Amino acid sequence: MLEPLLHDDPHTTASYRLIARLGSGGMGTVYLARSPGGRTVALKTVHARIAADTTFRTRFRLEADAARVIGGRHGAQVFDADPLAETPWLATEYVLGPPLDEAVARHGPLPETAVRAVGAALCGALGQLHSSDVVHRDLKPSNVMLSAYGPKVIDFGIARALGDDRLTRTGTAAGTPAYMSPEQAGGQEQTPAGDVFALAGVLVFAATGHGPFGGGQAADLIYRVRYADPDLTGVPSSLAPLLTRCLAKDPSARPGTAELARELHDGHGQFVDHLPAELLAVIGRLAAEVWQYRPHRLPAPPERAGTAPEAPTPRRTGMSRRRLLTVAGLSVAGVGAGGWAGMRLFGEGASRAGSTHRLMQTLWTNDTASAQDHTTPFFVADAVVVADVFRLVGLDPATGKGSWFTMPLTLPDQITSDGSAIYCFLRDSKDRLALLTLDEVGGSDRTLVTLPDVKALGSSTTAAALLHASGGTVFFTAGREAGLNGQDWHLLAANTSSGSIRWQTPLTHMHEPSFEGGAWFAKAIGHVLVLGGGFSQLELHAHDSRSGKHLWSKEVSDWKDEIISPVRNGTELAEDGEKMYVGAGLLQAIRVSDGTVLWEFGSFRDFGDATQFATHYGAPAIREGVVYAAELTGAIVALDAARGELLWEAPTPKENPPVLAGPPVVGKTHLYYGGTTGLGAIDLRTRKYVRTQAPRLERFAADPDQRMIIGVGKERVTALHME
C-alpha cells in the first residue's frame, strides 16, 4: 500500500528520487523510489540513531549480501546498496504481490495445489541459500511474498553463514518463536534442516491460517516448539505426513530441500496457474498502482503551516490473467518488479509514521457539485460519483475537481453501479421508462431494457426501482403505478451485456410492496439476492440470483422512529458470505441460505426512555470477524461476529452522538461514525473516542483502498484522510 511522503522526508537518496512511503518502523523507513533511468525500487534506509551502531551496520551489510546470494528469481533482487553511507540504504526489487500472512488473512487459506506450488518454489529458494552455506534463520509467512512468477523470500536481517556466530550470543534464540526450529529455540546452531522446519510451519499456515504451534507468549511458543507435537488440524490429508516429517524434532529426520520439492510438486504448469483468483486480483492492482500512482507529499503539521495535499487516486479493480502478466512483465522490464517487499525489512514493528496529525485531515472539498446528501458517494473506475440535483457528477479523487457529468436524469436517486459501470432509469420521449448504462463521459451508453416491453408490464405508466448490480446483472423491481399490489410488482434481472431479461418473478409473497422513495435495498451474496427494506418494519426477502426463485422471507425488526431504512443501498449491507448483519431494534446475524437468526444482541441493554419499538442500532459494519454498530445509548459497540458477544464498547461525546443511519467505516486503526455535529473517530487500539471532524456528513463511504473517506453534507463533497 503506497502512502504519501511526509513533509520532512528527503526528496532523493543517492541518485534515487523518492515517490511514496511503503512503511516505517523502529529501525528505518522504506520508500518507493525511481532511478534516473526509470527503474522502480523499494529503497530501504536506516534511522540515523541506528546507523551509528557499528554492529547494526554489519548486520545491514550481511543482509544485503544474503539478498544477493538468493538472487532475483527467489528473492527481491538487490540493485544497489551503500551500508557505509551516513544514512545506509539498500535498493531492491519492488515485488508485485502481497506477503503470505496478509494474503491468508484477507482471502483465507490457500488451496492445496497453491500450497504445494509455494512450498516447492520455496525449497528452490532455500536450496539456493544453502548451496552458498547461508541459512535464513527467520522464514515465516510475513517474509514470503507471493508474486505471479513465484514466491520470493525477503528479510535477511538475521541470515548468516554457517558457523558464523559473530552476531549471535551463545545460548540465545534469534528468530520468530512460532516458526523457529527446536534447535534454534534452544539457542543451538541453526542448520539448513532448521530452515526446512520453518518452511513446514509456513506451509501449515498457508493451508490452514494457523501456525503449527499456535500463538501466545514467546516462552510458551518456544516450549511447544521444543517439546509438543505440531497442530496439523485443517492440513490436507495428502500433505500431513510430509509436513510431519519436516516438523520432526530431530533435524536428521527431516528431508532436504531437493527431496521435499519433489514430493510437494511435479513441476508442471506455471506458478500463476496455481494461484486463486483473489490473489491474482491483488497482484494486478499492485501492478497497476506502480504506473498510476501520483507522487505527492503531505504538508507539515498545522502548527507548522501547510496546505492540503492531494489524495491518492482509487484504481480500477479486476484484471485478467493475461493482462496481469502483461502489466507485471512491463513492471519487471521497465520498472523493476515491485510490491510489498520493503515493508518487512525492519521486522514486525513497521507502522505508518505521522498518523496522528494526519487523522481525518481534510484533503479537499467541492461545493460546486451541489451534492445531494441523501445519496451515498460511490466509486466507478477512476472517479468518485455523487448525485447532483438532476444528474450525476464524476470527481477526480486526487483533487476533488469535476471531470464529467451525466445528462439530466428523471430519477437521480434511482441509480446503481457494479464498480465499472453506472445504471439508471430515464423516461424517453414516449414517456416509457428505460434502463440505461451511462458512460463515464456523461452520455447515455445504451438502452438495456425499455420497461413497457417487459412481460406483464405493458403499461406506459410503469414505476420501477433500481436495487443492485453485480456479476453482469442488474436487479430491479417494476410495476404499474395504478393499483400497486403484490400482483403488479415484479423482481427482474437484466443482463448488462445484452440487455435481455434473465428472469422475472412476481412479488406475491410481499404484503404491501411499494418501491418508491428509496426505502429498499438489495445485495447479491453468493447465489442469494437479499432484498430488504420497508417503512415501519424491516423486511428481508431472499431470491436465488440465478433463477429468481423465492427462497425465504422474514420480518426482522422495527424502526418506527425512522423515516427510511438505515441501509440505502446494497453496498452498505454487512455480510461475510454466510451471514448478514442488520441493525434496527436489535443487532442480528442472519444466515443467508435460509434466513435463520443465528444470534441477536440488545435485548437487555438500557436504552433509557426509548420504547422497545424504537430503532436502537444503526446499520452495522464487519471487518476481520468483528461487527461494529452505533447504538442509541451513544456508544459504538463491537461484537464477535461468530457468537454475537460484546467485545467492547466506546462511548461517544454528548456533543457528537452517532446518528443511527448508514454503517460506520472501519479503517486499519480507526473507526469512523456519522455524528450529529460531524464525523467522529474511535481508536481501535485504545477503543476510545479521539476526535470529531466538522461539518456533519450525511452520507459517506471509504474509497476502495481505504485511504480516504468521501462524504456529502450541506451541498458539499469532502474528502478526509483516514487511518
Please say whether the dihedral angle defined by the alpha carbons of residues 198, 202, 208 and 210, taken in this order, is positive or negative. positive
* Percent residues over pLDDT 70 in the chain: 76
Looking at per-residue pLDDT, the higher value among 232 and 558 belongs to 232
Q: How close are the terminal C-alpha atoms of the chain, in Å?
A: 12
Looking at per-residue pLDDT, the higher value among 319 and 417 belongs to 417
* pLDDT band for position 666 (cuts 50, 70, 90): very high
Same domain, 6 and 155: no
User: Of 413, 419, 427, nearest to 467 (Cα)?
Assistant: 413
- pLDDT(402) > 80: yes
Same domain, 117 and 24: no
- pLDDT(383) > 50: yes
Instruction: Extract the C-alpha cell encoding 216.
Output: 501466545
* Percent residues over pLDDT 90 in the chain: 27
CATH of residue 172's domain is: 1.10.510.10
User: Of 203, 388, 218, 397, nearest to 294 (Cα)?
Assistant: 397
Return the minimum-mean-pLDDT range out of 249-263, 368-382, 546-560, 563-577: 368-382
Instruction: Reply yes or no on whether 138 is catalytic.
Output: yes
Same domain, 256 and 164: yes
Determine whether 711 is exposed, middle or buried from the number of CB atoms within 10 Å of its CB (0-12, 13-18, 19+).
buried
CA distance 233 to 212: 9
* pLDDT band for position 474 (cuts 50, 70, 90): very high
- pLDDT tens for each residue of 600-647: 888 778 877 655 556 788 889 999 999 999 998 899 999 999 999 999
- Can you tell me the mean pLDDT for 196-211? 95
Same domain, 145 and 268: yes
Same domain, 236 and 143: yes
Pairing of strands 415-417, 422-427: antiparallel
- Can you tell me the mean pLDDT for 73-93? 85
- pLDDT tens for each residue of 100-156: 998 998 889 999 999 999 999 999 989 888 887 778 888 899 889 998 889 988 765
Element at 591 (helix H, strand E): strand 587-591
Gyration radius (Cα) of the chain, Å: 28
CA distance 577 to 523: 11
690 in Cβ contact with 670 (< 8 Å): yes
Instruction: Extract the C-alpha cell encoding 212.
Output: 503449527
403 in Cβ contact with 386 (< 8 Å): no
The pLDDT, as a whole number, for residue 251 is 94
Report the interhelical angle of 112-131 vs 192-208 (nearest 10°). 160
Non-local (6+) Cβ contacts of 181 within 8 A are: 190, 193, 194, 197, 198, 225, 251
- pLDDT tens for each residue of 264-318: 988 778 888 899 988 888 888 877 777 777 788 887 765 533 444 444 433 333 3
Element at 285 (helix H, strand E): helix 277-292
| Position 157 in a domain | yes
CA distance 553 to 540: 6
Same domain, 119 and 203: yes
> pTM for this one?
0.52
187 in Cβ contact with 213 (< 8 Å): no
* pLDDT band for position 347 (cuts 50, 70, 90): very low
User: Of 676, 671, 668, 670, nearest to 694 (Cα)?
Assistant: 676
CB atoms inside a 10 Å sphere around CB 126? 25
CA distance 634 to 654: 8
| Position 650 in a domain | no
Non-local (6+) Cβ contacts of 540 within 8 A are: 530, 531, 532, 553, 554, 556, 582, 590, 595
* pLDDT band for position 417 (cuts 50, 70, 90): confident
* pLDDT band for position 342 (cuts 50, 70, 90): very low
If one counts the domains in the chain, the total is: 4
CA distance 414 to 578: 28
- Can you tell me the mean pLDDT for 57-74? 71
Domain span at residue 56? 1-94+338-350
Detail the DSSP E strand segments found in 170-273: none
319 in Cβ contact with 288 (< 8 Å): yes
User: Of 208, 203, 216, nearest to 245 (Cα)?
Assistant: 203
| Position 397 in a domain | yes
| Position 472 in a domain | no
Cis peptide leading into 301, omega within 30 of 0?
Answer: no
CATH of residue 17's domain is: 3.30.200.20
Instruction: Extract the C-alpha cell encoding 583.
Output: 441493525
Instruction: Extract the C-alpha cell encoding 455.
Output: 412481460
Instruction: Extract the C-alpha cell encoding 704.
Output: 476502495
Measuring CA to CA, how many Å separate 720 from each of 372, 397, 400, 569? 18, 11, 11, 22
For residue 249, which phi and psi values (nearest 5 degrees)?
A: -65, -30
Where would I find the H helices in 132-213? 182-185, 192-208
User: Of 581, 530, 571, nearest to 551 (Cα)?
Assistant: 530
Where residue 551 falls (left for φ over 0; alpha for ψ -120 to 50; beta otherwise) is alpha
Amino acid letter for position 109? P
| 3-state DSSP assignment of residue 528 | strand
The pLDDT, as a whole number, for residue 241 is 96
CA distance 116 to 239: 9
Same domain, 207 and 107: yes
The pLDDT, as a whole number, for residue 168 is 36
Measuring CA to CA, how many Å separate 632 from each of 274, 369, 608, 694? 48, 33, 9, 21
| Position 365 in a domain | yes
| Position 554 in a domain | no
Looking at per-residue pLDDT, the higher value among 424 and 41 belongs to 41
| Position 436 in a domain | no
- pLDDT tens for each residue of 516-561: 555 678 999 999 999 987 655 678 899 999 999 999 998 876 544 4
Same domain, 286 and 151: no
The pLDDT, as a whole number, for residue 436 is 81
Looking at per-residue pLDDT, the higher value among 234 and 443 belongs to 234
- pLDDT(332) > 70: no
Pairing of strands 392-395, 383-387: antiparallel
Distance of CA 657 to the CA centre of its chain: 28
CA distance 449 to 502: 12
Where would I find the H helices in 390-468? none
Same domain, 152 and 267: yes
- pLDDT(493) > 90: yes
Instruction: Extract the C-alpha cell encoding 329.
Output: 512483465
Non-local (6+) Cβ contacts of 683 within 8 A are: 669, 670, 689, 690
| 3-state DSSP assignment of residue 145 | strand
Same domain, 269 and 121: yes
CA distance 357 to 350: 18
| Position 304 in a domain | no
CA distance 475 to 469: 6
Task: Determine which one of 9, 138, 195, 488 is catalytic.
Answer: 138
Strand partners, 558: 537
- pLDDT(253) > 80: yes
Best-predicted range by mean pLDDT (157-161, 388-392, 603-607): 603-607
Detail the DSSP E strand segments found in 460-578: 462-470, 473-480, 489-495, 501-506, 520-525, 528-533, 537-544, 550-558, 574-575
CB atoms inside a 10 Å sphere around CB 119? 25
Same domain, 110 and 235: yes
- Can you tell me the mean pLDDT for 163-177? 45
Residue-averaged pLDDT of the chain: 78
Element at 579 (helix H, strand E): strand 579-583
Same domain, 286 and 254: no
